[in-house]
């Protein structure tokens, strides 16, 4: 009898071992749940959290200025001229509400000059640029592309600038020429006339949508300075650079892999020089004048379109290179 029971024990042991093996195999092949990444890390074309906070300042500033102009009894009581996009200067609610205030004449109207000067001082004095020329050349290329966008929008675009072309496209025209020549003679004039030329001959630029050139300039110039200076600030404050880039093989990695010295921002130089402070000072004054523009000049939609046009240029210069290696090879990236 005992001779017949031993094989049964062996059989049960073998079956038990087989079950254990199967269970072990099943356990080891179970994959962990997928890692959920934050939306900002899904695409290198999107801003980091720090950049998002910085960019959010601009629409919030326009909103704040517009709310002030709507709620302020003094501002609401003074007639607003759609032709000049401002209040009657004889009854201006503030010094900053007059187009002839010193900051508007010598700073805003020459805003790209001040942007260029501030960027140049920063590039010369910034220690993180190193002794080589490559980083400085890339800054110059980015400045050149941004300058080209500023020229096309506000100065010249194979004739009239984009702002004036948009004004004419939406039904605007020089009112004095309409009175003198009649509607039949307006076709050719509408194609070549600019706001500056209309003003020069004593006409009034009316009837179309006028994108706020001040909003466009102040946002484009100050944000350009911020994006160029930001890597130097993260060096000084010990903040890690959250930017991501796409490599040629499609991998999305941290921007640190392309830095010349291979260091993260929190391992770099801990000082910010006079160039950084000067650039930030110019950017801060631009923000103040943006707030004054939002409070006293243009309609909300004119300011909003100025914001969109400025953001379009910033995206091409500072975000498109992160996702397109070929563009990055030409424009580079600040701090890289």
Full pLDDT tens readout for the chain, 336 residues: 444 444 444 444 444 444 444 434 333 444 443 433 444 446 899 999 999 999 999 999 999 999 998 888 878 778 777 767 777 777 788 889 888 899 999 999 999 999 999 999 999 988 777 667 888 999 999 999 999 999 999 999 988 999 999 998 998 888 766 555 555 444 444 444 688 888 777 777 888 899 999 999 999 999 999 999 998 888 777 677 889 999 989 899 988 887 754 444 334 444 567 899 999 999 999 999 999 999 999 889 999 999 999 999 999 999 999 999 999 999 999 988
Residue 319 domain boundaries: 49-172+207-331
Q: Please name the helix (run of DSSP H) or strand (run of DSSP E) that holds residue 167, with its range, or none.
A: helix 162-169
Does residue 112 fall inside a structural domain?
Answer: yes
* pLDDT reported for residue 69: 87
* pLDDT reported for residue 13: 43
Number of domains in the chain: 1
- Judge whether 211 and 305 are in contact, CB under 8 Å: yes
DSSP 106: I
Does residue 190 fall inside a structural domain?
Answer: no
Among all residues, which ones are annotated catalytic?
A: 214, 298
CB under 8 Å to 230, separation ≥6 — which residues? 50, 51, 54, 334, 335
Does residue 178 fall inside a structural domain?
Answer: no
DSSP 265: G
- Judge whether 285 and 193 are in contact, CB under 8 Å: no
Does residue 99 fall inside a structural domain?
Answer: yes
Does residue 126 fall inside a structural domain?
Answer: yes
Q: Which residues in 80-127 belong to E strands, given as ranges? A: 80-81, 86-87
Residue 209 token pair: 């949508």
Does residue 117 fall inside a structural domain?
Answer: yes
Indicate yes or no: pTM above 0.85: no
Does residue 255 fall inside a structural domain?
Answer: yes
The number of residues making up the chain comes to: 336
- Judge whether 6 and 286 are in contact, CB under 8 Å: no
CB under 8 Å to 146, separation ≥6 — which residues? 220, 224, 313, 314, 317
* CA–CA dist 210, 221 (Å, integer): 20
* pLDDT reported for residue 77: 76
Does residue 258 fall inside a structural domain?
Answer: yes
Strand, helix or coil for residue 246: strand
């Amino acid at each position: 009898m005992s001779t017949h029971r031993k094989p049964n024990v062996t059989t049960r042991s073998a079956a038990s071992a087989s079950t254990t093996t199967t269970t072990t195999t099943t356990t080891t092949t179970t994959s962990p749940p997928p890692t959920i990444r934050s939306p900002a890390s899904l695409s290198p074309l999107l801003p980091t959290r720090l950049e998002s906070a910085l960019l959010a300042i601009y629409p919030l500033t326009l909103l704040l200025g517009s709310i002030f102009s709507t709620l302020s009894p003094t501002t609401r009581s003074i007639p607003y001229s759609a032709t000049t996009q401002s209040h009657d200067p004889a009854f201006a609610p503030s010094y900053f509400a007059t187009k002839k205030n010193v900051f508007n004449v010598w700073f805003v109207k020459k805003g790209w000059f001040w942007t260029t000067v501030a960027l140049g001082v920063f590039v010369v004095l910034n220690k993180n640029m190193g002794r080589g020329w490559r980083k400085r050349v890339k800054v110059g290329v980015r400045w050149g592309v941004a300058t080209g966008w500023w020229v096309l929008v506000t100065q010249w675009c194979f004739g009239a600038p984009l702002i004036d072309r948009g004004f004419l496209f939406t039904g605007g025209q020089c009112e004095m020429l309409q009175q003198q020549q009649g509607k039949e003679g307006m076709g050719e004039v509408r194609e070549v006339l600019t706001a500056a030329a209309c003003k020069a001959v004593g006409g009034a630029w009316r009837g179309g949508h006028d994108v706020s050139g001040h909003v466009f300039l102040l946002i484009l110039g100050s944000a350009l300075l911020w994006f160029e200076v930001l890597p130097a600030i993260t060096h000084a404050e010990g903040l890690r650079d959250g930017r991501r880039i796409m490599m040629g093989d499609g991998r999305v990695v941290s921007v640190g892999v392309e830095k010349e010295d291979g260091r993260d921002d929190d391992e770099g130089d801990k000082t910010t020089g006079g160039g950084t402070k000067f650039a930030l000072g110019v950017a801060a004054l631009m923000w103040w004048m943006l707030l004054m523009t939002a409070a006293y000049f243009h309609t909300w939609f004119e300011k909003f379109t100025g914001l969109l046009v400025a953001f379009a240029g910033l995206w091409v210069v500072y975000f498109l290179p992160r996702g397109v290696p070929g563009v990055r090879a030409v424009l580079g990236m600040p701090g890289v």
